[in-house]
Structure 1
């Protein structure tokens, strides 16, 4: 297992990767370097820290992305990626770890197309699209203690299945803080503040869990469940939902007309506009289950205890 240092041993990160074997490590010193593709398995590539080691300039060869992870069991840690036409970091493989990476001023911050990936303590900000995007093949992965802010679309956008979002922050994003368009995803103990929507569960999303989150001060509804075809089977449980909404189409927790089969329970909702909890025609009990919610008002009445 060898250690290769950029730019001391190799001028570029890509040159160091080409010379590496599985199990090797690459240290990137402070400075600015071109993008790269990781196509050798089981490499550890680490910089000197966010803002000190910077990946900018030319993208990974053959792409418009900054860093592309194509090999399994890669560990990336400790650098900034900025200014790329596509994604700052795109992961197309499995069983990888991304830790303490900043992705800024690209189209998307991070894009996950793989399975069983861990993304921890990363930052996505001021990107033209999403901060963190999970495509259909982005499955069974875990995001812990990341921050996604001031992106021009969504903070966390999820099309995949069976992903876990724990203790993340989405703030000041132009669209939703958390946008779920997949199945069996869990959003636990996150914070979503000052976005357009706090948590948005979209039309074909079923069996998602939104539990113990702080959802506050979002422009439109705090949590909206828009699953339309068949029972949604989404669980909205024990969230704090405050000060969301600006007009009569909004609510703290909103179940629009005709949405059925969801469970909304034990939430604390206050000072939302126009209602703390609202269920449209056909979405009221017994079409959805409302139980143990502490709130100031609801439409129809009786959804609060």
Structure 2
């Protein structure tokens, strides 16, 4: 196992250090500004001096558009900022990587693009990108932040993705766009321009989140969506017009369980089941001030 320091005479760039490394080696990036890089060796630890001190903002990785491109398995990246790229801040296209204490800001694509399974992100920040986090397959995101992105804060459009104890706020579209068999647990989702949480597929668990002050619905369950559990969320002060609700279940959504939620001061209803949605889904033990039908509230 070898530790390589960037920049030095031997390794003026991060890519120089990666290209001669072997699995198990470490690369320390000092404070300063550096070009993007492509991680082509598995099992490396690449760490900077911290967010805002080690900054990746120069030439994109591998001659492309992304700041950092990870194409090898089982790497750990920690402690730096990625900013200002035409593509994504960081793209992970392999398995079993850990991203920790990484800030990805002001990129024209996603702050974080994760397209292979079993990756773990913690204490990461995505801001001022087009999308904060675009995750297309099973991964865990814990204690991360997404704010002021142009579109969605989190897009969990793949299967078996968990977003836990994280924050999504002030994004230009939805706070969290949810795909199939995802878990959205104990997050703060607030002040997003459209929905706090939008469910587009089946069998996800939306539990114990605080969902407040979003411009459209707090939680929306779209037509054709089924098998989701919406349980024990606090949903307050969402919506701006009569088409909105704290929890909106559209006509054609089926077999979803909406239980034990506390909804208050939403526009126009705290909980609304459109058309046949009241009969086709389960509403149980929700506390709310107004609903359509009125029997939803207890």
Q: Normalising to structure 2: TM-score of the pair?
A: 0.98
- Return the alpha-carbon distance in structure 1 between the equivalents of residues 62 and 118 of structure 2: 25
- The reply on whether 1:35 has 2:36 as its aligned counterpart is yes
Q: How does 1:81-100 map to 2 (within 5 A)?
A: 81-100=82-101
User: 2:190 corresponds to which residue?
Assistant: 193
User: 2:154 corresponds to which residue?
Assistant: 156
What are structure 1's unaligned runs of at least 5 residues? none
User: 2:276 corresponds to which residue?
Assistant: 282
- Return the alpha-carbon distance in structure 1 between the equivalents of residues 127 and 252 of structure 2: 36
- The reply on whether 1:299 has 2:292 as its aligned counterpart is yes
User: 1:260 corresponds to which residue?
Assistant: 254
- The reply on whether 1:114 has 2:129 as its aligned counterpart is no
RMSD: 0.8
Shift in Å at residue 227 of structure 1? Answer: 4.5
- Return the alpha-carbon distance in structure 2 between the equivalents of residues 34 and 191 of structure 1: 34
Candidates 220, 231, 242, aligned match of 1:237: 231
Secondary structure class of the residue paired with 1:5: strand
Secondary structure class of the residue paired with 2:15: helix
Shift in Å at residue 258 of structure 1? Answer: 2.0
- Return the alpha-carbon distance in structure 1 between the equivalents of residues 112 and 199 of structure 2: 21
What are structure 2's unaligned runs of at least 5 residues? none
User: 2:3 corresponds to which residue?
Assistant: 3
- Return the alpha-carbon distance in structure 1 between the equivalents of residues 64 and 195 of structure 2: 32
Contact map agreement 1:125 1:151 (CA 8 A) in 2: yes
Q: 1:186 to 1:212 in 2, by over 3 A?
A: same
Secondary structure class of the residue paired with 1:87: coil
- Return the alpha-carbon distance in structure 2 between the equivalents of residues 116 and 227 of structure 1: 30
- Return the alpha-carbon distance in structure 2 between the equivalents of residues 289 and 26 of structure 1: 53
Q: Normalising to structure 1: TM-score of the pair?
A: 0.95
- Return the alpha-carbon distance in structure 2 between the equivalents of residues 289 and 299 of structure 1: 14
Shift in Å at residue 27 of structure 1? Answer: 0.1
User: 1:63 corresponds to which residue?
Assistant: 64
Contact map agreement 1:206 1:227 (CA 8 A) in 2: no
Contact map agreement 2:146 2:168 (CA 8 A) in 1: yes
User: 2:46 corresponds to which residue?
Assistant: 45
Shift in Å at residue 118 of structure 1? Answer: 0.3
- Return the alpha-carbon distance in structure 2 between the equivalents of residues 259 and 115 of structure 1: 29
- Return the alpha-carbon distance in structure 2 between the equivalents of residues 273 and 78 of structure 1: 42
User: 1:125 corresponds to which residue?
Assistant: 127
- Return the alpha-carbon distance in structure 2 between the equivalents of residues 258 and 248 of structure 1: 20
User: 2:241 corresponds to which residue?
Assistant: 247
- Return the alpha-carbon distance in structure 1 between the equivalents of residues 81 and 44 of structure 2: 18
Residue deviations 1:170-211 (CA, integer Å, cap 9, x gap):
00000000001x211000000100002100012xx0001100
- Return the alpha-carbon distance in structure 2 between the equivalents of residues 148 and 109 of structure 1: 9
- The reply on whether 1:225 has 2:221 as its aligned counterpart is yes
Contact map agreement 1:201 1:227 (CA 8 A) in 2: no
Shift in Å at residue 50 of structure 1? Answer: 0.3
Q: How many residues align?
A: 295
User: 2:180 corresponds to which residue?
Assistant: 183
- Return the alpha-carbon distance in structure 2 between the equivalents of residues 258 and 30 of structure 1: 54
Shift in Å at residue 62 of structure 1? Answer: 3.2
